[in-house]
Chain A
């Protein structure tokens, strides 16, 4: 768990519930000890500054490009994106998507939505959107896994997963399980390699 700022303990609790061991990552040395990384919800401008100041941003890019599974929720999606519409905001450029920040509106428009996510099965997923971004453009190798109001809100490109909503605030663990499955597959792939 990237733990510079945001809803870290909610993700840690969800991972623990799924039987995974997880801990807070604040420095490049912490990063060396993990197999995968979740970038939580939070404020993307604040966290990008902290990633740049600490050198942790560069380390995350290196590990992720080398195959480490990474999942960004809301802020994490923005941090992982290629770029942000209309803003000269730096990102880590780990998944080929362009995102629009606060796309569904300000806090008064934050909402709980029943979302169809075929990759997780038939039952809709109770998704919590908070000042959430949407995907404005995706590259050819990006699979959009869920849409809300015709806009991409969950996407995957190889070892990188992004959701604009917050599975960690609810009790449905299917997205966490989906990510852990990605981590297990990556583990097998790297052992084989």
Chain B
């Protein structure tokens, strides 16, 4: 019997495909998320919109909080560690969370290096803005990739940019002549082996989700049609005026992303409840941006 293999680490993400993973800050939130049909929850002390508003240093969440969320639901529970903070990751693995998100939403602990994720039995998900970042994270052992988006902004534009960048680069590699692959690996900052694999398969070797800025059912349907295999929703649910309805509507729109009549129904189900307030990303200063952290 073998545990912690690449197959079982990537395998759990394969089971989450087509689903919605929701940020939650209390066991009650987690129960609402599960009831709405979330495939997993991300246990956090503060959702990204509040991290943004509060400022200061954002760290791994308190253990008691994560534990209480693990006890509250039967679906997988993920938790975040700071970029490069392998000791936080060791603690999360010891605690027994199902997935670790090495996340730019928290304040980075290392401005040069990410965690060596091969050293862990617990699988990791990491953010990426483009194919080069995605392949570097996979080389470090990430078993799942998500777009970075701009977390807590309620603005989908960054996630769209990242999903399109990753998709375009994969399609380009898939049709590139073989003699170009070494130079393309150099330009991407990724290994020739991985680049060759992408060129052959025409897809990443791990599951690709969208994250960052999803606030409405239509946002979720948009990202699924752009090639996301599932959706992370951070602030979009519990910063909305009616989390239960938003949770369910985003799940329905994700499942039936290419059936506009069902997405319409999901939008209609929100009644007059408002989505979370959004931010114009162009108005943010460089220090306020999260996506450029950890390349």
Per the 8 Å Cβ criterion, residues 215-271 of B in contact with A are 251-252, 255-256, 259
Quick one: closest A residue to B256, CB to CB? A26
Query: Given A8-B18, A46-B251, are A130 and B38 also a contact pair (CB < 8 Å)?
Result: no
A-B contact count (CB 8 A): 115
30 contacts between A and B (CB under 8 A): A3-B18, A5-B17, A5-B18, A5-B19, A5-B39, A6-B17, A7-B15, A8-B18, A10-B14, A26-B255, A26-B259, A41-B15, A42-B39, A49-B36, A49-B37, A50-B37, A75-B15, A107-B76, A108-B4, A108-B122, A110-B8, A111-B2, A112-B5, A128-B11, A129-B8, A130-B11, A131-B76, A166-B11, A169-B11, A169-B14
Chain A positions within 8 Å of B4 at CB level: 108
Interface of B is mostly: loop
Per the 8 Å Cβ criterion, residues 91-121 of A in contact with B are 101-102, 106-113
A66: interface (CB < 8 Å): no
- Cross-chain contact of B74 among A4, A102, A112 (Cβ < 8 A): A102
A129 to B35, CA, bound (A): 25
Residue count of chain A within 8 Å CB distance of chain B: 37
Quick one: closest A residue to B122, CB to CB? A108
A45 to B33, CA, bound (A): 11
CB distance from A104 to the nearest CB of B (A): 10
A3 to B5, CA, bound (A): 26
A43: interface (CB < 8 Å): yes
Is A106's CB under 8 angstroms from B98's CB? Answer: yes
B209: interface (CB < 8 Å): no
A129 to B98, CA, bound (A): 14
A77: interface (CB < 8 Å): no
